[in-house]
A and B are shown apart, each in its own frame.
Chain A
Amino acid sequence: MKKFSQMAIPYIIWAVLMLVLPMALIAFYSFTQPGNSIFSFSVTLEHYIKFFTDADFLIILWRSIWIAVKTTVICLFIGYPVAYFIARCEERIQNILVLCVTIPMWINMLVRTYAWIGLLSEGGPAQRILGLIGLGDTELLYTEGAVLLGMVYNFLPFMILQINTTLCKMDESLLAAAADLGATPVQTFRRVTLPLSLPGIINGITLVFLPAVSSFFIPKLLGGGKYFLIGNMIENQFITVGEWNFGSAISMIMAVIMMLLMMCVHKVEVRG
């Protein structure tokens, strides 16, 4: 027995080095002012103060959260019916449909996003279709709508798959029992199916919200040069501005907010 538990030791060391230490470094950078080396630094709260006292930064934080909420809600309202329908198909078709939802996830997320550029760009098919109903001049690419679309497109499979998994696990005799006891289909759905699929919904929400709130390449590719989210701010700090301490502070803020949100969501789950 002892022998087996020793097998975990290399991984524990690895995890400390590769998972815990990086987070500790972000925290360290976020609370310090750069010196000439890692050994000379001064502790400061300046970066956090800078972030929370600037209305512009807060607007961006708010906008990022808001677009992530919109993405999550849309994914939920599209994803649930789709997952529900898939779960009701016979097994062979179910497998094929699940594969159909999975394949886009295998194609790299950046390629997936890039694929929309042609469709949405000026004079492209989407605009031509809008032109048929007299909206030909609507700009599609480089708008908030395009960013939202890109996010839904990228993250919808997560939602569908999570909900579908819980729906498939559900004991179907429960539905029959509810019907036998006189529940209407709507009641059955509200009182039985929905509560039972709640874990899937919550996992789905997590898996959609988390990447949506921190995305930086979707706003950059589809939102053009005028749509800034918190992810873009972090990228900028590290890649072009070079203020790593401030960038680390923004990362910490985001990580903490996410952690709090996730804790709330899991409370709902426990209660459910």
Chain B
Amino acid sequence: MKKGKRPIGKILMVLMIIFFYLPILYMIVFSFNDGKSLTNFTGFSLRWYKHMLETGGMLEALYTTFSIALLAAFISTVVGTFSAIGLSKSRKLVRDLMEQVNNLPMMNPDIVTAIGFMLLFITFRVNKGYMTMLLAHIAFCIPYVILSVMPKIRSLDPNLADAAMDLGATPWQALVKVIIPQITPGILSGALIAFTMSVDDFIISYFVTGGGVKNLSIMVYTMSRRVNPSINAASTLMILIITIVLVTINVVPVLVSKRQKKEERSGRKVPGALIPLAAAVVCAAGLIVFFRFNGAQGGRPFEGQVLHIYNWGEYTGENIIGDFEEYTGAKVVMENYDSNEQMYIKIANGEAYDILVPSDYMIQRLIQEGYLQKLDQSRLDCLDKLADAVKGLPYDPENEYSVPYFWGTVGIVYDKTKVDLETLEREGFNIFLNQKYRGDVYLYDSERDSFMMALKALGYSMNTEDPGEINEAFEWLIRCVETMDTETVTDEIIDNMAQGRRALGLIYSGDAAYVMSENENMGFYLPLSGTNLWSDAMVIPKNAKNPELAHEFINFAASFDGAYDNSSFVGYTSANQEVMEVLSGEGGEYEGIDAYIPRSGYGLDEVFVYNEKTRKLISNLWSKVRIAESNAN
């Protein structure tokens, strides 16, 4: 045929390659950026790689990604091959039926398959974690292996095995020495597809994981709301590993076949496929050894124990986890959530954690529903260090269950160059309905605080149980999302406001403190109609596996050093009185930033109270607001 005569074709190829590789290349380049920005390259540095190595979780995620992929590919190839051979000899009815069953994961949208697995594990009370992720991966890989092996089996002479056995081979010999060599290409391509599917997967892993087990994609997904170039670094590392594997698979057979030709002359034979396979196994073994036996010291009180923390995203200081691990010898596994509700679902499903950091009303709910254990006061040495404003709050009047972690208010972050204080003072939360700022506002994806804003704007109590008032608030929110071209975000608001991308946003005081410390044009305003005075506190669930270590962590995080690290890095107000004073005092990190010190003693500010009925109502109404917002755009 005509070979490459058409310039259009060549241009098309070049464009395609640019399209496919430009984003990847861009990411690799920015993984070496000295600054935090994803758009300005300020100089070469390995800082994010260092950060990635220090945070630890990333390497583990890479290890999980590849170990699961290798195991799933290997197991599903073996099982799939034997099953395909078995099925090919089964009755037609069985074969046809199984073909349909096999098609299920391929013909269903991934998310449906994923939810099926999740419901399966939860219904049968299987603890979600590494094993469930592996099982799910094997389950969706086997059909691909069967699909790629089956045509090869069909093309075989059906009497081949019989012939072998007639000649004295045992069935096993017939299988291994006659059938399998004939279908090797199908098996290898099946293995490759299984490996690819597993490495590529996010959706299924996301729904079936638990116990802090994360692969790289889950890690990226949970961290992607804030700019974090270590994601680029980890991704680059993954791309590097994949490239090595691919080159091995594609280049080694060529080399081997060349050598084979030589060796055939001298009479020896090396099966071509074995070398890349062997290389892969060696790589895997190396990785496993590297990650498994990484540092072991003796002599500390909790050596080798594990503490499972379920905390908000970006809610711990840079060093506290490392320091705690160093101090106790224990290992900390941390999982993050975006909302109290998300956390609650996992707790209600019986997932075991040692430490949670829920907000006020959620603590009340967890106590009411019997999910929390009373703290052992004899093990705690931190209660006297707490700020008065966070001691004995209504959700836990005696601090029997909880030790406050951070506290603050919810207010409006605004760009002083676009919004004047007078308008804010006049309108309060109603500024979110002011057409002047259409397309220039962020809402926060929290059902509680969004309804708080609307209720306060209307002059009601945020704890109202009156359906009429709640409905008015709902209409207020609907009007807001339908007329203001809003965008509802979670943590993205922090970096985006720090870069001045919007004029207004609903924000937690601690995030505002960070935004203001990054961008002096930003201000924080608390409406006179009152707002939510919240606190998040550390609690220990009843089903905690290591309550002793959990108490130790509470002490550690509430101590001056731990609390200082947390608060100075994250920007939220510390519950530790001394830390709060030091950070907001002269020379402190948040000197002069009013958002850091919450308004206290203002009569219209309230603390959330838990009420099951209004919760359900608000939760349903909030999904409707989100959908209306999405449909308004």
Contact = CB atoms under 8 A, between A and B. Distances in A.
B560 to A, nearest CB: 35
A270 B91 CA distance: 26
Given A7-B85, A211-B109, A104 B119 contact: no
A60 B627 CA distance: 8
Interface stretch (B339-347, B382-390, B539-547, B572-580): B339-347
A23 B112 CA distance: 8
Give the secondary structure class of A's interface.
helix
Contacts of B378: none
Contacts of B273: none
A115 interface: yes
Interface in B131-183: 135-136, 139, 142-143, 161-162, 171, 175
Contacts of B105: 19
Contact of B217 (A4, A82, A104, A109): A109
Interface in A5-64: 5-12, 14-16, 18-23, 25-26, 29, 38, 56-57, 59-60
A111 B101 contact: no
A99 B619 CA distance: 48
A148 to B, nearest CB: 14
Nearest to A103: B246
Interface in B487-506: 487-490, 492, 499, 501
Given A22-B116, A228-B627, A107 B487 contact: no
A74 B9 CA distance: 18
Nearest to A18: B139
Nearest to A6: B86
A106 B196 contact: yes
A175 B2 CA distance: 12
B242 interface: yes
B82 interface: yes
A89 B5 CA distance: 10
B236 to A, nearest CB: 9
Nearest to B243: A103
Contacts of B443: 225
Contact of B98 (A15, A59, A221, A259): A15
Contact of A221 (B109, B115, B123, B224): B224
A172 B1 contact: yes
B266 interface: no
A48 to B, nearest CB: 16
Interface string A188-210: 00000000000000000000001
Interface string A141-155: 010000000000100
Interface residues of A, number: 98
A230 to B, nearest CB: 9
Nearest to B17: A100
B157 to A, nearest CB: 14
Contacts of A216: 111, 203
A108 B216 contact: yes
A23 B490 CA distance: 33
Interface string A80-111: 01100110111001000101110111111111
A104 B24 CA distance: 9
Given A15-B102, A106-B200, A119-B22, A111 B220 contact: yes
A9 B200 contact: no
15 contacts: A1-B89, A5-B86, A8-B98, A10-B83, A18-B120, A56-B627, A97-B13, A108-B217, A109-B202, A118-B232, A119-B22, A225-B487, A236-B623, A242-B348, A259-B107
Interface of B: 1-4, 6, 9, 12-13, 16-17, 19-24, 26-27, 30, 38-40, 65, 79-80, 82-83, 85-91, 94, 98, 101-102, 104-105, 107-113, 115-120, 123, 135-136, 139, 142-143, 161-162, 171, 175, 196, 199-203, 207, 216-217, 220-221, 224, 231-232, 235, 238-239, 242-243, 246, 250, 338-339, 341-342, 344-345, 348, 443, 445, 486-490, 492, 499, 501, 619, 623-624, 626-631, 633
Given A8-B83, A14-B139, A107-B200, 14 more contacts: A5-B90, A6-B86, A14-B79, A26-B119, A78-B16, A90-B4, A100-B16, A103-B242, A109-B201, A123-B40, A227-B633, A240-B341, A251-B112, A259-B107
